[in-house]
């Protein structure tokens, strides 16, 4: 949590920097699943929202961005008696998440890629309406990665498609020095993002004007 507090303070300080950072607000709608829980499909619809800031790299192509988000993840399985599935399973987790990413323009499309760090604030599992205990404790800090692309709707409004994956497991599993990072279930997510920038971003390096003697 201390790391996220430091990042939050840094965000607040750069929010007032003049002409260097472009701040934004956004909302995401993600389909989520948990690898290793025995269920398939991106059936858990999570909502993410937060604040962002983008530092354009001047003469270089692209920029560095970071966000502070409230994120919901997990798994959702509905009963389907016709398919032989009678169980109702809910696995809900809430995080504070900070993505840090590089934005670069390729083929006229701004792509973004980078790591994420998340802090667990709440978790609940329900099996047929009854709270279900876990076999292992949760990890408070989750490391992951994010990749996506941007589509310009207006000068300040962008539509994004993002894919996220955790690279550290959800649970603390005591399975040896290396296997404990290969067990314990992992988050997977894919979804849509709407971002509004308070100033017009320009991800593409401007063309140099020819010198006229």
Which range is least confidently modeled, 57-61, 120-124, 205-209? 205-209
Question: What is the per-residue pLDDT for 7?
Answer: 54
| Max Cα-Cα span within the chain | 80
Assigned domain for 90 exists: yes
**How far apart are alpha carbons 203 and 22 in whole angstroms?**
12
Here the CATH number for the domain that contains residue 141 is: 2.40.160.20
Domain extent at residue 68: 2-197
Assigned domain for 50 exists: yes
Q: How many domains is the chain partitioned into structurally?
A: 1
Assigned domain for 83 exists: yes
pLDDT of 145 strictly over 90: yes
Q: What is the pTM (predicted TM-score) of this model? A: 0.80
pLDDT in tens, 65-117: 999 999 999 998 888 777 667 778 889 999 999 999 999 888 878 899 999 99
**How far apart are alpha carbons 191 and 48 in whole angstroms?**
10
Assigned domain for 68 exists: yes
pLDDT of 5 strictly over 70: no
């Amino acid at each position: 949590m201390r790391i996220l507090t430091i990042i939050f303070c840094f965000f607040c300080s750069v929010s007032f920097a003049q002409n260097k950072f472009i701040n934004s607000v956004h909302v995401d709608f993600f389909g989520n699943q948990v690898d290793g829980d025995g269920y398939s499909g991106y059936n858990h619809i999570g909502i993410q929202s937060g604040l962002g800031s983008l530092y354009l790299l001047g003469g270089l192509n692209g920029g560095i961005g970071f966000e502070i988000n409230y994120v919901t993840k997990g798994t959702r399985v509905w009963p389907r008696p016709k398919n032989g599935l009678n169980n109702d399973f809910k696995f809900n987790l809430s995080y504070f998440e900070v993505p840090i990413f590089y934005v670069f323009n390729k083929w006229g499309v701004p792509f973004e890629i980078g790591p994420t760090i998340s802090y667990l604030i709440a978790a609940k599992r329900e099996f047929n309406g009854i709270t279900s205990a876990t076999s292992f404790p949760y990890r408070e800090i989750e490391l992951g990665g994010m990749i996506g692309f941007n589509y310009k709707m207006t000068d300040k409004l962008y539509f994004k498609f993002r894919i996220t994956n955790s690279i550290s497991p959800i649970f603390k599993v005591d399975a040896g020095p290396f296997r404990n990072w290969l067990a314990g279930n992992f988050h997977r997510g894919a979804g849509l993002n709407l971002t509004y920038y308070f100033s017009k971003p320009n991800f593409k390096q401007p063309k140099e004007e020819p010198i006229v003697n």
